[in-house]
């Protein structure tokens, strides 16, 4: 789909964008995720209900069960309002840590970068988290979002650095450049 450099840059920009939004506008970010959650629940129930109606035999039971599970998740989110926020934060935390893990594995491929990027990414994330806790007393009000936003921001910065450090990869359609090994008359070797 994308080469490694473009993928690192895109993941980095998304991580930085989410990190900034989560740190500067935590309530708006949580409310946006709640709206997305409800849109996904309603759309999922509608699609799974349609598949349950049009499905044949045992297949319709599976689709109906999945629609019922989404309905139960919606009811739980009404009863426990923070369930939606924590669910989305866990999903975003998983994506942020996956991006960090992917960057770690990419940096381990190169002997020079594994000793630079790996400790720097971890230390920068922890130092940024400690500095924000120390200098901003209201930082702990939205603890989950603050931690996930800070780590997404830190991993995003290092994903961009890793993407800029890696040269672009050649695709299958490019012609490799090789030196000519044939002897040309009139030239001395």
CA angle 155–90–86, rounded 5-degree value: 130
Q: Which one-letter DSSP state was computed for residue 116?
A: T
Instruction: Provide CB contacts within 8 A for 130, sequence distance 6+.
Output: none
Residue 139, token pair as written in the block? 């930082």
pLDDT at site 186: 65
CA angle 90–136–34, rounded 5-degree value: 30
pLDDT per position in the chain (189 positions), as tens?
567 778 778 888 888 888 888 888 888 888 887 788 888 889 999 998 898 888 777 778 888 888 888 888 888 888 877 777 677 777 777 777 777 777 777 767 766 666 777 788 889 989 999 999 899 888 888 887 888 888 888 888 888 887 887 654 554 444 455 555 665 666 665
3-state DSSP assignment of residue 167: coil
């Amino acid at each position: 789909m994308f080469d490694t450099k473009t993928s690192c840059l895109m993941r980095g920009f998304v991580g930085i964008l989410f990190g900034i939004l989560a740190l500067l506008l935590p309530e708006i970010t949580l409310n946006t995720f709640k709206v997305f959650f409800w849109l996904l629940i309603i759309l999922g129930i509608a699609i799974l209900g349609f598949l349950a109606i049009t499905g044949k035999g045992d297949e319709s039971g599976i689709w109906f069960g999945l629609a019922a599970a989404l309905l139960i998740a919606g009811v739980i989110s009404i009863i426990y309002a923070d369930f939606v926020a924590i669910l989305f934060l866990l999903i975003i935390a998983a994506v942020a840590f996956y991006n960090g893990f992917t960057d770690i594995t990419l940096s381990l491929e190169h002997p020079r970068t594994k000793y630079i990027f790996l400790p720097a990414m971890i230390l920068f994330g922890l130092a940024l988290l400690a500095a924000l806790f120390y200098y901003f007393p209201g930082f702990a009000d939205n603890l989950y979002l603050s931690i996930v936003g800070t780590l997404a921001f830190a991993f995003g910065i290092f994903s961009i650095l890793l993407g800029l450090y890696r040269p672009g990869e050649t695709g299958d359609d490019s012609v490799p450049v090789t030196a000519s090994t044939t002897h040309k008359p009139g030239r001395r070797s």
